[in-house]
Structures are given as C-alpha cells and as structure tokens.
C-alpha cells in the first residue's frame, strides 16, 4: 500500500491486510408508534453504528493468528467470515473519472415525452376522461409532477392524498404537496418512517410537510406501507370526481430515471373508490371494506392470485391453453410457490422474469413447465406485473408487491388491474420482448445459477427494443 509509512511514521511496516465489517442494519422498531418511533429514527444513524457484526470481509492472505485475534476481539463467528481479496469497497470506483471518456459510457438517456399529454391544457381534465400508462424510465416521470402541481393550483381540487415510501432529495413530489397545502388544499400524506435506510430522510420530509399544514400520518405498528398511491378529489359544480396515480415504484424523480417501472393514471371509479377505502384504513378508521378490483394483502391479494392460478389449471383440464407471465423483484413465499408447482404439474406454462431472489426451483419434475429468466441491464428492472392468459382474455395486474412473504402478509401493498385492452396488450408486448432477450438475460437453472441465454436468434436487447417500441407508439 502506498503511503502507509506516512500513516504510521516511525514504524517498519512488515505487512498489511484490509478488512471490512458490516453491522446489522435491521432495527427492532416495527411495533413502535408516535413519539417513541420518532425518537428511535432521530438517533438511528448512531444506533446502526453499534449494531452487531454480521459480515466480516478479510484479505485471504491474512495470517490465521491475526484473523483469530480479530474474531475474538470483535466477537465474530465463523459464519460471519467472508474471504476476499485486498480491495473491498468496489462502490468507491463509481467516484473515479473515466480516463477514456466518452468511450465505455452509455449515451445520455432522455425520457420520451407524450405528445397528447404535452398538448393538453389540463392534465387533470385529460386523466378525468381517459386512462394513461407511463413506462419509466423510457417515458418521463414529469407528468406525475405536473399532475400534482396542477392539482395544487386547480380551484376544483379540494383534497389530495398520497403515500410516501422513498422520495428524492429536494423532492419535487414533496414540494408539490407543500404547494398544494399553501393553496389551501386539504392534503393528507401517509409517510412510512420504517423504509430502511430512508428513515431519517422520511422523517425530515414529514416534519417539513407537517409545518406547511399537511396532515401527516405515520407508520402502522407491525406493518410497512409500501403501496404507491396518489388520489385527487375534485368538486365540479357540486359533484365529486376522483383521479388516481398508481405505480409499481416509488414517487421519486431520481430513481424514475434508473428504475424500470409503471405509472398509471385513472379515474375509473371501480379503482378510485377502493383507493379511498384504503386511505381510510391508513388513517386508522376501523372499517373492513370489500376490495373487488385492487388487491390488498390480508384482504384479497393471496386469495385472488390463487383463484387466477386455479383458473389457468381449469382451462388446461378443459383442453385449453393455460399460461402466465409473472414479473417481479423477488419470489420466496412457499405457499404461492407451491401453487405454481401445482399449475406446472397440470400443464400450465409459466414464464417468470425475476430480477432478485428466487426460491422457486427450476428444471424439476414439478416445475418442468416453469421458466425463470433474469435481466440485468442499464436500467434496474423494478416493475411487478402479473399476466394470466384467461382463455384469451388476459387478466393483467401491476403494483407494488412482490411475491415475497413480507409483501404478501406484512405490508400494505396495492396491486391494480388493467382493464383497458390496448394497455393490457401494450404490457404483454413489452413482457414478450423481455422474454426474447438474448443479450442481457440469463436463465436461472436448478442450482439458482445465472446461465447466459445463447441461441441462434437475432441479438435482442430488451431495454433497447422497448425504448424503440414506445417511441414508435408515441409517433402513431
């Protein structure tokens, strides 16, 4: 190591070894409420620095006696040890300049604009008449910001409700909500303080909003609110109208340039009425609404998925086609996985696009009809989308919830249906493009290993093709 003699002047340096210790960042605050929770979060940075070691990365050349000494000193068990090289913090490489710039760099990504929305005098009026689906980061997130800012100024708007999980620094979303409160709108925001590593930022924004007159509702004990919802209520000549924006990703204009997600504008009362009921639950009102359209954990989500899977099985038994496309970040729920195995055994074909953890085991007798691929490319695949063939009339859902135990049972999530046939077909087209990726996609084998997809087909990079697909639709 260069300059180590400067760090330890007067010493003869015999050898040096690098280490990296990771501490437990999970804190036991799920059951806390009110002032206790706020107090924990205000001190969370200090608390995390004192967490128990749970991963100790060390240079493989380190002598055993030194490693033993460190383990004894820091109470590190053998399960915590990770053997590595001399350099550990590879994240630091992001800060280094590219000496070959602009070589080896992606060209700057400029999100596509939507002519119909750009030319609309009022986005609120357009959404009241017609549904719009946005695909980030291919299309611009600015339409949602405009939606909120218009609502802040529009005289017909009487109330805005929204959830907040992770927002950007100097958030345009938060600024728009504060602007609405300054224009005497009734604004209610549910802030999830337990969004890991964003607790302090969310508390800061919550205090800013509260000081501006916004009604801020904090976390629910034992649950995380992970849904991505905004609801606008208007009073037009004494009649109530509601419009909503639902998303698969956070209301964050920075990550909307990097994460692949869906945003959905709708004024369909079947959906907006149920979102209103969900906000009543978030406000703590003791109601037990019936959800017939949106899917909510511990109300109808798992039951609906089981019925949709069962329907595919029944169609196969009747000699029809049974098929599903399931896209998500993670799949680990044993119960829902068992239902997929059951469908596979009955002959239902299942294509899964899973970016992160996947506990489903492929290439087994019980999973012979299930294929799992993973796409890792320039944009982070973050959307959760579920397609059930339904004998040629596909049921399509999108939303905030993965098929993981925490999402299906321990969070407030919202998965919403796509009823418009053109938008359903658009989603299915884009998923089919991803299933054909042979440039950035890998198939997950029975050992959970990534196996590059190699075939004789023309090279197809899904993210590039989807950009061109949406660009072409915008020109129609």
Q: Is residue 54 scored above 90 in pLDDT?
A: no
pLDDT single digits (tens) 338-380: 999 999 999 999 999 999 999 999 999 999 999 999 999 999 9
The answer on 198 and 144 residing in a single domain is: yes
The answer on 184 and 37 residing in a single domain is: no
The CA distance from 327 to 312, in Å, is 17
Confidence of residue 199 (pLDDT cuts 50, 70, 90): confident
pLDDT single digits (tens) 15-37: 889 898 887 666 555 544 555 66
Which CATH number fits the domain that encloses residue 399? 3.30.870.10
Assigned token pair, 182:
């300054």
Average pLDDT over residues 291-310: 97
The answer on 273 and 165 residing in a single domain is: yes
In order of 140, 150, 160, 368, the CA distances from 125 in angstroms are 19, 10, 16, 49
The CA distance from 180 to 156, in Å, is 12
The answer on 222 and 138 residing in a single domain is: yes
pTM of the model: 0.88
Active site residues per annotation = 226
The answer on 347 and 250 residing in a single domain is: no
The CA distance from 464 to 466, in Å, is 6
Q: What residues make up the domain containing 361?
A: 301-475
- Comparing 53 with 95, the larger pLDDT belongs to 95
The answer on 69 and 39 residing in a single domain is: yes
- Does 288 fall in a domain? no
Confidence of residue 14 (pLDDT cuts 50, 70, 90): confident
The CA distance from 289 to 282, in Å, is 12
Assigned token pair, 447:
């050992």
In order of 329, 334, 372, 375, the CA distances from 445 in angstroms are 17, 19, 8, 14
Number of domains in the chain: 3
The CA distance from 392 to 401, in Å, is 25
């Amino acid at each position: 190591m260069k300059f180590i003699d400067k760090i330890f002047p007067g010493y003869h340096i015999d050898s040096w070894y690098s280490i990296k210790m990771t501490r437990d960042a999970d804190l036991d605050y799920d059951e806390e409420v009110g002032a206790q929770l706020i107090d924990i979060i205000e001190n969370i940075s200090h608390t995390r620095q004192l967490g128990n070691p749970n991963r100790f990365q060390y240079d493989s050349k380190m002598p055993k006696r030194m490693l033993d000494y460190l383990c004894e000193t820091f109470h590190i068990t053998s399960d915590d040890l990770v053997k590595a090289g001399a350099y550990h913090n590879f994240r630091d490489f992001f800060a280094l300049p590219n000496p070959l710039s602009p070589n080896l760099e992606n060209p700057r990504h400029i999100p596509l604009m939507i002519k119909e929305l750009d030319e609309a005098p009022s986005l609120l009026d357009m959404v009241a008449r017609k549904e719009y689906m946005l695909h980030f980061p291919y299309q611009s997130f600015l339409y949602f910001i405009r939606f909120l800012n218009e609502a802040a100024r529009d005289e017909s708007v009487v109330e805005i409700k929204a959830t907040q999980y992770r927002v950007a620094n100097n958030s345009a979303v938060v600024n728009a909500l504060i602007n609405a409160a300054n224009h005497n709108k009734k604004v209610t925001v549910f802030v999830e303080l337990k969004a890991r590593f964003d607790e302090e930022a969310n508390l800061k924004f919550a205090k800013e909003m509260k000081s501006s007159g916004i009604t801020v509702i904090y976390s629910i004990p034992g649950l995380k609110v992970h849904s991505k919802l905004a609801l606008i209520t208007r009073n037009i000549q004494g009649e109530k109208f509601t419009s909503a924006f639902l998303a698969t990703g956070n209301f964050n204009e920075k990550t909307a340039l990097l994460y692949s997600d869906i945003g959905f504008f709708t004024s369909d009362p079947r959906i907006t009425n149920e979102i209103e009921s969900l906000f009543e639950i978030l406000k703590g009102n003791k109601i037990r609404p019936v959800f017939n359209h949106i899917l909510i954990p511990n109300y109808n989500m798992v039951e609906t998925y089981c019925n949709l899977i069962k329907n595919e099985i029944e169609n196969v038994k009747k000699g029809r086609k049974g098929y599903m496309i399931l896209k998500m970040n993670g799949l680990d729920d044993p119960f829902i996985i068992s239902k997929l195995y059951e469908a596979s055994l009955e002959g239902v074909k299942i294509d899964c696009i899973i970016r992160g953890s996947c506990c489903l085991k492929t290439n087994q007798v019980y999973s012979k009809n299930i294929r799992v691929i993973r796409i890792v490319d320039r944009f982070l695949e973050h959307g959760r989308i579920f397609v059930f063939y339904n004998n040629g009339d596909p049921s399509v859902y999108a939303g905030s919830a993965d098929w993981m135990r925490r999402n299906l049972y321990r969070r407030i999530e919202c998965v919403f249906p796509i009823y418009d046939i053109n938008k359903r077909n658009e989603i299915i087209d884009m998923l089919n493009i991803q299933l054909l990726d042979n440039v950035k996609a890998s198939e997950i084998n029975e050992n959970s290993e990534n196996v590059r997809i190699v075939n004789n087909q023309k090279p197809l990079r899904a993210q590039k093709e989807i950009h061109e697909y949406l660009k072409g639709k915008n020109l129609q």
